[in-house]
Structure 1
């Protein structure tokens, strides 16, 4: 969700910075980048290490509230994401939103999409092990009643790509804040703009046929 469907990373970074500064600490952009794609438990622990005295649950709740407030004002959709998701739904393909944000945050974003985009949501509090562990994706596949090898995952972060690939899912990386060149993504797309269900099917077919991309994943043009 964060970074793939909506560009909420700046919202999270702003909320983190405000919280740490309220305790007299400092927070850099580089430090914030280290948390992209991580579970909120790790984020909360990092905030505590920077001097925040709130409990882990309180930190997660406070950061989530602040990000949700910003989303209500402006939903920062990632280019091409809603369009591709709409085409997937029109094709009758089951979908799951697999995010390490908490459930109420995921449902908040979901409410702005404008159509019934997902059959289910697997959120941060649904799992014992956060991304990059594969639990969240395995849980999503099981809930949809499909084998992970028949799934395609789209991710923007190293943790997310690692989680999806480790679950045995054909994984498409769409890098945003972080390079995915050395990640386990099976293919890299620079954007979702112009992408179609046929593009997803092709990526999946190539991966399952064993026609894998080179060690440094191939970066394709949006309409290749």
Structure 2
């Protein structure tokens, strides 16, 4: 059975922006004379942005509200992505194939709209029929709401879609929504799961490969 739609994570999946987030976190720590570790940075991967901000506040002992920290994080990462978009191997090629095949795609990211914009400028208009960002949902990943929202907006059942993810948090979200989850690990290891299929890279992958995944191959 071919997937009715493909739902794509962004950070770490389509673009390798996790180093941008981490560099920004370290810059914030330096700015306020706080400490920050690689373990703490890795613990934020895949989180809803507001949750990451809460962890930054707690971990660095900052007096700022989480909403203020979100804006600090976005300021740093947007500045970096406007200079260069670090595409993951095979990501743009897969998106091009899906677009040419007429497969509906949704972007499902916990980043906020103002960070997504500069990245979408590098893709053909209409690449994503639906965009779900972290500032549009009440419950971020690992809650299923982001993926359920995307599937509903496309008019398909989540069970009939393939989600592409790189983190445990994202995989849990997509799995809980009922998606088949293609996991391409990046900065953090991802645990096995009932609806998860693992591949080493998106490079060379096409819609036909995703259809095979959906069929249980």
Shorter-chain TM-score above 0.5:
yes
Which whole-Å CA distance do the structure 2 matches of 1:186 and 1:113 have between them?
Answer: 27
The 5 A counterparts of 1:133-212 are 133-183=143-193, 186-206=196-216
Which whole-Å CA distance do the structure 2 matches of 1:184 and 1:31 have between them?
Answer: 28
Unpaired runs of 5+ in structure 1? 212-224
For the Cα contact (< 8 Å) 2:147–2:177, is it kept in 1? yes
Which whole-Å CA distance do the structure 1 matches of 2:76 and 2:102 have between them?
Answer: 35
CA pair 61-201 structure 1, distance change in 2 beyond 3 A: same
Unpaired runs of 5+ in structure 2? 1-9
CA pair 190-107 structure 1, distance change in 2 beyond 3 A: same
2:48 aligned residue: 39
Which whole-Å CA distance do the structure 1 matches of 2:43 and 2:193 have between them?
Answer: 15
Question: What is the CA distance between 1:183 and its match in structure 2?
Answer: 4.6
Partner of residue 39 from structure 2, selected from 30, 43, 51 = 30
Q: CA RMSD in A?
A: 1.3
- Alignment deviations for residues 148-202 of structure 1 (CA, whole Å, 9 cap, x no partner): 1111100000000110011000110000011124355521010000111110000
Q: TM-score, normalised by structure 2?
A: 0.91
Partner of residue 11 from structure 1, selected from 16, 20, 27 = 20
2:93 aligned residue: 83
Which whole-Å CA distance do the structure 1 matches of 2:193 and 2:54 have between them?
Answer: 25
Q: TM-score, normalised by structure 1?
A: 0.89
Q: How many residues align?
A: 207
